[in-house]
Amino acid sequence: MNRLHVVRESGLYLALCLVSALMLLPFAWVAFGAFKTQGEFMSNPGGWLPESFANLDNFIVLFTEEGFGPYLVNSIIVSAVTVLANVLFCSMAGYALAKLPFRGRGLLMGCVLVAMTVPYVALFVPQFLITVQLGLVNTLAGIVAPMLVMPLGVFIMRQFALSIPDELLEAARIDGAGEFGIFLRVFLPLLGPAIATVSIFTFLASWNSFLWPLVVAQTEEVFTLPVGLATASQASNTTAYGLLLAGAIVVLLPVLILFLFLQRYFIQGIAATGLK
C-alpha cells in the first residue's frame, strides 16, 4: 500500500460517510419525531430533538388504543406466508423455466416479464372483484393470495437455476432420480443465497403493501400494520405526526433486522443469479 492508496481510501471513506449521512438524516428526524407530542409538531415543525426522549406516549397509544399488537401479528402472518410460498413456488417455477424444456416455456417466460412491469394500480378493481368471487374478502388469505408467487421471485429463481451446471442434474437423472427428487435433493440445497434474495424482496413487498390490504380487509381483525398506520395517523382535519413517525419506526424495525441478518446472503444471492 503506497501513500496514494491511503489518501484515496481515506477520501472514499469520507465520501461514503457523507452519503451515509444523507441517507440517514431523514431517519434521524423520523426517529426523533416519534418522541414528540402533536403540540411540538404544531409549534415547531422543523425542530430536531424532542423535548423528552422519555415521552413514549406515541408508542403506547399505538399499541393500546390503535391496536398495533394484533396488526403486527397479522402483518407477520401475511409476510411469513408470502415469503414461504414464494420461496417454494418461485423456485419450482424457476427450476422448470430454466431446466425443463417444455412447450409454452417461452410464452410463460414472457408472462413473467410482463407481470413484472404491470402497473398494479390499474388492476385492483378487477382483482378485488375476483377476490370477492373466491369468497376471500376480509380474510388474511385474500390479502396473501395475489402475492403468493411474485414474478420477480420467479425471475430471480430462474436466473439462479440457469447458473447451475446441467451436469449436476444430469448425473442425478442418470442415477434414476425423478424430476421432483432432483428438485428436492440437488436443486433446493444449492438455493441458499437465492432464497435470501427472494425472501427479502417478497418480504419487503408484502410488509409494506398498503392499497391491497386496505381494500380487502373490511374489519380491524384483518388489518395489517400499514393500514393501521394510516388509520392511526389520519386524525380529523390533520395528521397525527407523532403517531405516524412512531408507527413508521415500528414498521421499519422488523425489516431492518431481517435485512441485517440476511444481507450477506442477499447480495450473494443476487450475484449468483448471474444476472444474465
Whole-angstrom Cα distance, residue 264 to residue 73?
27
Q: How far is the CB of 215 from other proteins (least distance, A)?
A: 5
Binding residue for other proteins (CB under 8 A) from 76, 139, 186, 208?
Answer: 208
198 binds other proteins (CB under 8 A): no
55 binds other proteins (CB under 8 A): no
Q: How far is the CB of 209 from other proteins (least distance, A)?
A: 11
171 binds other proteins (CB under 8 A): no
57 binds other proteins (CB under 8 A): no
Q: How far is the CB of 22 from other proteins (least distance, A)?
A: 8
Return the number of the residue (81 or 90) whose C-beta is nearest other proteins. 90
Return the number of the residue (54 or 260) whose C-beta is nearest other proteins. 260
Residue 36 phi, psi dihedral angles, 5° rounding:
-95, 155
14 binds other proteins (CB under 8 A): no
DSSP string, 168-231: HHHHHHHTT--HHHHIIIIIGGG-HHHHHHHHHHHHHHHHH--HHHHHH--SGGG--HHHHHHH
By CB under 8 A, the residues from 237 to 256 that bind other proteins are: 237-239, 241, 244-245, 247-248, 251-252, 255-256
Binding residue for other proteins (CB under 8 A) from 6, 7, 18, 42?
Answer: 42
Return the number of the residue (69 or 274) whose C-beta is nearest other proteins. 274
By CB under 8 A, the residues from 106 to 145 that bind other proteins are: 106-119, 121-132, 134, 137-138, 145
60 binds other proteins (CB under 8 A): no
Binding residue for other proteins (CB under 8 A) from 6, 7, 18, 39?
Answer: 39
Return the number of the residue (73 or 192) whose C-beta is nearest other proteins. 192
Q: How far is the CB of 88 from other proteins (least distance, A)?
A: 8
By CB under 8 A, the residues from 68 to 97 that bind other proteins are: 85, 89-90, 92-93, 95-97
